[in-house]
A and B are shown apart, each in its own frame.
Chain A
Amino acid sequence: MGLLSEGSPLSWPETKRLAPHVQRHGIEQFINQFRRLKERRGDSLKWGDEVEYMVLRLNREARTARLSLRSPELLDQLQATERQDPSAAPSLWRPEYGAYMVEGTPGQPYGSIVSFFNTVESNMRARRREVEAILQPDEILLSITSFPRLGCGVFTDPPCYPTPTAGSSQSLFIPEEVIFPAHPRFATLTRNIRERRGKKVAINMPILVDERTPRPFSRGPVPERGLEPLTTERFVIPKSRYGSTDSYISECGRPYNDVKLVMDEDLLARLREGGIDDLLAAHVAHLFVREPISLFSEKIEQDDSVDMDHFENIQSTNWQTMRFKPPPAGSNIGWRVEFRPCEVQLTDFENAAFVCFVVLLTRVILSYKLNFLIPISKVDENMKRAHRKDACAA
């Protein structure tokens, strides 16, 4: 879900201008939080999961399935229990990018006793039922990575149309209404990403032409992307902010860090000065090579000794395969690792299987002191290969 600061979003040029401010203060916030918590010991294992769903409206007579853009009102209902008494909520619900998406997590984390593994699937089922109970009769809830008809003709309910010359994405394919409207974060990110690139986000798939099928109407050429010489940017970054993690941060991972990390050396030095070990400092400095892509006016000035918004701003807009999360400000939650490469599956059984497997595997690795590490460049290679169809068999 990412950082949901309140308030008025700044324009892209204003946001960009304040990038060094956000980066510098984000680093200070991390250092302060780290110092405050580095001696923390004896935490017991707690774990959880996040499942993203989409709401579809089915028209059985017309045989159509469209994205139902009702998540703002659904979330309002779903969050009612949590608003009254957060500790009593069986599940927690959060918005996601799409106005058709909801994200659910267990109300309480699972714990260290082995019997918790038995509860994951039923917890997920209960979550699904919670949403299904408030859907309309022709709506269904689906946990699937992408809606197969996204961007194809009219695919929303109510029907909406792209606005290529107006709005935050100016997409050729995606209407503005698809973006979750009840919080400015998502539209702001969308607009800023587009303005920062100087071009629309293009995710066109190659078209395989079948001679016997009528050609689809072409809506314009796919823009050619090339690299221009850097004028306003400081770094050429080899990887997008949506990618696989670039370094190991634990000591046993040190020998396997064979990828050079792009980072601001001044930020690195500041982290080291602040008492952060070299592996973790390199990781954070590398994350902070990114500029903020949304910023709210009310959150510019912060108290670095207690606030974490600037840190979270950069942290939560690095969408990598793993995320190392310091405890949030003002809470008793400990350090956390987010395991992010899994794609959501259609059934709760499968989702629970993946979640339980990951946690069990960590217990086995810790118990038997196993080492499965490989050079991180090979992990990168594996991740690229894994995207291919029939990747395991190829």
Chain B
Amino acid sequence: MSGAGESACSSRGEPLALGEACTDLTMSTGNVISMRGVRRRAGQGTTEELMSSLDHMLDIIRPAKGELDRPSVVMAVPCACYSVSLGEEEREPLSITVKLFPVGLDTDAVRQAVERALTELSVKQVEAIVLSNPLPWEEMTLEQLLPLWRVLEQFHAQQKVAYLGLADVEQSLFEAICQCDQVEVKPSLLQINLTNCCSVPDDLRDFCRQRDVQILTHNDAQEVLPGAVLRPLLSKHLALAEPQRWSLVWSLRYLVMVQHKGVIKNKGYVVHVARS
């Protein structure tokens, strides 16, 4: 059984050497639903799933010569069994949700992440994008949130996403963004972490019902990919000249569902790290 921390070396033998010119690395796990070689444990959380699928992908990837010398490198497994690209004929009954986990308040990170999701899935449109609050619950303000939200509104204007949502924001902030005149596209989804909030307050429930906002629960950790977990993984598989200069910029999860059957077709993660 492979999993982060369970074997100190990659099966490749020696780590992949990223070129000196490389400053950006995007890693895509592929479809974890059909992933072989990754044993899933019952009750496994998002972080564990992300780590073990990333670990697996980095284990088996065999980049071609020269691919690692570019400034911006993408690592993804080309194998058909992991592919997520959806043929046009399949598009109709599928519902795609993307949840973004940006680190910090960089609007470019949000933009990049959405574009990467659309490319990864080879689709022109997704059903919903949920933005996870990058700051601790109580710290985030409307002024900080609005620039990130505007990036999503632009994608909405381009018809690349139908519904927008937020996760892990305080009730007052959520109400503020729903009532803010400057916000053109109001949130349609609110995700709440059950560890923070064991039951939804009645007034929030009413507020959402009046505005057609769907409340869903989730169990993603506040920090879905902590440095303490990511760095050992990178060191295991990559030879980095200055490992301490690399940090997480954003990660995302996509979920492709055959909505009318309630069955998950594809699920995967994309992680973007950069060198400062």
Seen from chain A, the residues whose Cβ lies within 8 Å of a Cβ on chain B are: 42-45, 112-115, 363, 366-369
Q: Which of B40, B214, B261, B265 contacts A45 (CB 8 A)?
A: B261
Closest CB-CB distance, B89 to chain A, in whole Å?
Answer: 13
Q: Is there contact, CB below 8 Å, between B262 and A113?
A: yes
Q: List 8 contacting pairs A-B, 8 Å CB cutoff, sorted by A.
A: A42-B260, A43-B260, A44-B261, A112-B260, A113-B259, A115-B214, A363-B263, A366-B261
Distance A43 CA – B93 CA, assembled complex (angstroms): 11
Instruction: List B217-239 residues whose CB lies under 8 Å from chain A.
Output: none
Tally chain B residues at the interface, Cβ within 8 Å.
Answer: 13
Distance A112 CA – B258 CA, assembled complex (angstroms): 9
Q: Which of A45, A114, A368 contacts B260 (CB 8 A)?
A: A45
Instruction: List B36-68 residues whose CB lies under 8 Å from chain A.
Output: 40
Q: Is there contact, CB below 8 Å, between B262 and A369?
A: no
Q: Which of A42, A43, A45 contacts B262 (CB 8 A)?
A: A45
Q: Is there contact, CB below 8 Å, between A112 and B214?
A: no
Q: Is there contact, CB below 8 Å, between A367 and B263?
A: yes
Q: Is there contact, CB below 8 Å, between B260 and A367?
A: no
Q: Which residue of A lies closest to B32 (CB)?
A: A368
B residues near A114, Cβ cutoff 8 Å? 216, 262
Closest CB-CB distance, B39 to chain A, in whole Å?
Answer: 12
> Known contacts being A42-B93, A115-B214, is A367 close to B259, with CB within 8 Å?
no
Seen from chain B, the residues whose Cβ lies within 8 Å of a Cβ on chain A are: 33-34, 40, 93, 214, 216, 259-265
Closest CB-CB distance, B127 to chain A, in whole Å?
Answer: 12
Closest CB-CB distance, A287 to chain B, in whole Å?
Answer: 27
Q: Is there contact, CB below 8 Å, between B264 and A112?
A: no
Distance A366 CA – B93 CA, assembled complex (angstroms): 16
Q: Which residue of A lies closest to B34 (CB)?
A: A369
A residues near B263, Cβ cutoff 8 Å? 363, 366-367
Q: Which residue of B lies closest to A367 (CB)?
A: B264
Closest CB-CB distance, A365 to chain B, in whole Å?
Answer: 9
Distance A42 CA – B214 CA, assembled complex (angstroms): 26
Q: Which 4 A-B residue pairs are closest in the complex by CB-CB distance?
A: A44-B260, A367-B264, A112-B262, A366-B263
Q: Which residue of A lies closest to B214 (CB)?
A: A115
Distance A115 CA – B259 CA, assembled complex (angstroms): 12
Closest CB-CB distance, A353 to chain B, in whole Å?
Answer: 17
Q: Is there contact, CB below 8 Å, between B259 and A368?
A: no
A residues near B259, Cβ cutoff 8 Å? 112-113
A residues near B262, Cβ cutoff 8 Å? 45, 112-114, 363
Closest CB-CB distance, A122 to chain B, in whole Å?
Answer: 14
Closest CB-CB distance, A361 to chain B, in whole Å?
Answer: 12
Q: Which residue of B lies closest to A364 (CB)?
A: B264
Closest CB-CB distance, B94 to chain A, in whole Å?
Answer: 13
Distance A43 CA – B260 CA, assembled complex (angstroms): 8
Beyond the given A44-B260, A45-B261, A112-B259, could you list 11 further A-B residue pairs with CB under 8 A, ordered by the A residue number?
A42-B260, A45-B260, A45-B262, A112-B260, A112-B261, A112-B262, A114-B216, A115-B214, A363-B263, A367-B265, A369-B34
Closest CB-CB distance, A265 to chain B, in whole Å?
Answer: 37
Q: Which residue of A lies closest to B259 (CB)?
A: A112
B residues near A112, Cβ cutoff 8 Å? 259-262
Closest CB-CB distance, B274 to chain A, in whole Å?
Answer: 33
A residues near B93, Cβ cutoff 8 Å? 42
A residues near B260, Cβ cutoff 8 Å? 42-45, 112
Closest CB-CB distance, A113 to chain B, in whole Å?
Answer: 7
Distance A66 CA – B26 CA, assembled complex (angstroms): 70
Distance A369 CA – B34 CA, assembled complex (angstroms): 8
A residues near B261, Cβ cutoff 8 Å? 44-45, 112, 366
Q: Is there contact, CB below 8 Å, between A367 and B33?
A: yes
Distance A206 CA – B259 CA, assembled complex (angstroms): 52
Closest CB-CB distance, A186 to chain B, in whole Å?
Answer: 37
Q: Which residue of B lies closest to A112 (CB)?
A: B262
Residue with the greatest number of chain B CB neighbours at <10 A, chosen from A43, A114, A367, A368: A367
Q: Which residue of B lies closest to A114 (CB)?
A: B262
Q: Is there contact, CB below 8 Å, between B33 and A368?
A: yes
Q: Which residue of A lies closest to B267 (CB)?
A: A367
B residues near A115, Cβ cutoff 8 Å? 214, 216
Q: Which residue of B lies closest to A368 (CB)?
A: B33
Distance A43 CA – B261 CA, assembled complex (angstroms): 8
Distance A111 CA – B35 CA, assembled complex (angstroms): 29
Closest CB-CB distance, A304 to chain B, in whole Å?
Answer: 32
Closest CB-CB distance, B151 to chain A, in whole Å?
Answer: 27
Distance A368 CA – B266 CA, assembled complex (angstroms): 10
Closest CB-CB distance, B80 to chain A, in whole Å?
Answer: 16
Distance A70 CA – B239 CA, assembled complex (angstroms): 79
Q: Which residue of B lies closest to A363 (CB)?
A: B262
Distance A113 CA – B260 CA, assembled complex (angstroms): 7
Closest CB-CB distance, B262 to chain A, in whole Å?
Answer: 4
Distance A369 CA – B40 CA, assembled complex (angstroms): 13
Distance A323 CA – B41 CA, assembled complex (angstroms): 32
Closest CB-CB distance, B231 to chain A, in whole Å?
Answer: 30
Distance A113 CA – B128 CA, assembled complex (angstroms): 15
Q: Which residue of B lies closest to A44 (CB)?
A: B260
A residues near B214, Cβ cutoff 8 Å? 115
A residues near B264, Cβ cutoff 8 Å? 363, 367-368
